[in-house]
Amino acid sequence: MVSTPARERLNSGRQYLPTPPTPTPSPNQYLLPLTAQVNSQDHLEVGGCDVPELVQRFGTPLYILDEETLRTACRQYRQAFERYYPGESLVIYASKAWNCLAVCAIAASEGLGLDVVSGGELHTALQAGVKPELIYLHGNNKSVEELQLAIASNCTIVVDNWLELKTLVELAHPVSILLRLTPGIECHTHEYIRTGHLDSKFGFDPDQLEPVFAFIAQQPHLNCIGLHAHIGSQIFELQPHQDLAGVMVQWFKKAAAHGLPMRELDIGGGLGICYTEADDPPSIDDWAKVICEGIVKACEEQKVPLPKIIAEPGRSLIGSACVTAYSVGSQKVVPGIRTYVTVDGGMSDNPRPITYQSVYRAVVANQMSAEASETVAIAGKHCESGDIVIKQAQLPPTQPGDIIVVLATGAYNYSMASNYNRLPRPAAVLVQAGEANVIIQRENYQDLMRHDRLPDRLVEKG
């Protein structure tokens, strides 16, 4: 069914073999969804669905989310913590990566909780049927309305600062909280996605925690059940997570000494994924093993009972489960400099290249066996010179109407999408066993004006 050259190109990101005892490859180590293959028409298939046929049915740009890959990642996280941690554990999906009804429902059906960072994400999670006791509300500037919604929903609030603490006291309702601390651990990742070092907008600094503990101990409505920290995103190193365990258990012990009923330790997420062949992230299993062993060791050294561990992966759950399909439009050749191949999307459906200088890999879905003989810039259609999806993409020669698929677009693509240049946001389909279901409807021009209002004095009288 699959020619050797096509399979080699398709699997070029799969050279990272899973480590025992994981029986299934770790999705975050793949460039493509686990179900990806090349069919007899030399087309890319995902979830048993022919990608060019999906484009004919649903148009482009199109997010294509593979249900099997997402579910596999959920199970690997949950099972790894069950395997390596002798105490209680809970994996919660960091839904800022992609929060919509279908994704929340899949995560919940796999036994995961949800990490939300706004009232909108919380409302979506509740509408998707996620149990409130499995929802954790994060954020460094929660509004009073968001706090009230969290309290009414009976979810846990991860408190970030003094103002939030005092606001919760003023609201005078019983609520379970975690405290977010800034552990002072740096990782080799992009400046904007490092959240564990001291110069960060998130969390209480270590020198604030003692007075915070003392304050909470005097508040009858605040049930402080644990601590939270997050050291960054797209991390390939394991050592920082070992360091984090020692820091958190130390503060966990100090909080308990103030009489706080500490029982949960949320160690965040941050495991990276493959965006190109050069990326080499640890497997989900390896990451969980390091976390669990680090917490157990730190608890033994500090003589602290094992807490309930909470992990909150986002990107590594959903990033590799999705690809984005585009239709090729015009081309521009600048002799001796560059060839631009233009697609019908760009920074409005994937703002990460222009925001973070993120690098992606692409394939041509309707000619998977063709030799990638050209180096081109895949350009978006927006009126912005920086709207380049991939600066140096290795592709076969393309023609208008060909289907370019950008890989690993599940995390922070739809969730950060915009209507820049008044472009409607794309549709998203969930694929599984040859079936495709729309989970996000494509916007139309009327949707763009849904919230516009035209004052009467600006309406021409004719």
Domain boundaries of the chain, sorted by first residue: 4-66+322-448, 67-318
Distance CA 426, CA 286 (A): 35
Query: Which residue is listed with tokens 């069950």?
Result: 82
382 neighbors 354 (Cβ within 8 angstroms)? no
Q: Which of 442, 227, 448, 447 is nearest to 349 (CA)?
A: 442
Q: How far apart are CA 63 and CA 436, in angstroms?
A: 12
Let me know: does 244 contact 183? Beta carbons within 8 Å.
Answer: yes
CATH number of 4-66+322-448: 2.40.37.10
- Rounded-to-integer distance, Cα 229 and Cα 239, Å: 15
pLDDT at position 237 is 84
| Among 14-23, 107-116, 129-138, 157-166, the least confident range | 14-23
Angle between helix 144-153 and 162-171 (nearest 10): 60
Q: Count of residues for the chain?
A: 462
Per the prediction, the chain carries an average pLDDT of: 91
Phi, psi of 341 (to 5 degrees): -110, 120
Q: What is the mean pLDDT of residues 68-75?
A: 98
Residue 271, Cβ neighbours under 10 Å: how many?
29
- The pTM of the full predicted model, rounded to 2 decimals, is 0.92
| pLDDT, tens digit, 9 for 90 and up, residues 209-229 | 899 999 999 999 999 999 999
Q: Kind and range of the H or E element at 285?
A: helix 284-302
Buried b (16+ CB within 10 A) or exposed e, 78-89: bbbbeebbebeb
Higher per-residue pLDDT: 32 or 236 = 32
The string of DSSP letters for 109-164 reads HTT-EEEE-SHHHHHHHHHTT--GGGEEE--SS--HHHHHHHHHHT-EEEE-SHHH
Which residues is 46 bridged to in the sheet?
49
Task: Tell me the CATH number of domain 67-318, given options 1.10.10.10, 3.20.20.10, 2.40.50.100, 3.30.70.100.
Answer: 3.20.20.10
- Say if residue 184's pLDDT is above 80: no
CB 250 within 8 A of CB 229: no
Helix, strand, or coil (residue 173): coil
Reply yes or no on whether the pLDDT at 23 is more than 70.
no
Render 394-435 in DSSP notation, one character per residue.
EE----TT-EEEESS--SSSSTT---GGGPPPPEEEEEETTE
Examine residue 5 and say whether the peptide bond preceding it is cis (omega within 30 degrees of 0).
no
* Burial (Cβ within 10 Å: 0-12, 13-18, ≥19) of residue 67: buried
Residue 383 falls in the annotated catalytic set: yes
- Tens of pLDDT, residue by residue over 303-362, are 999 999 999 999 999 999 999 999 999 999 999 999 999 999 999 999 999 999 999 999
Are 255 and 213 a contacting pair, CB within 8 Å?
yes
Picking from 76, 77, 96, the residue whose alpha carbon sits closest to that of residue 315 is 96
| Mean pLDDT for the stretch of residues 72-92 | 97
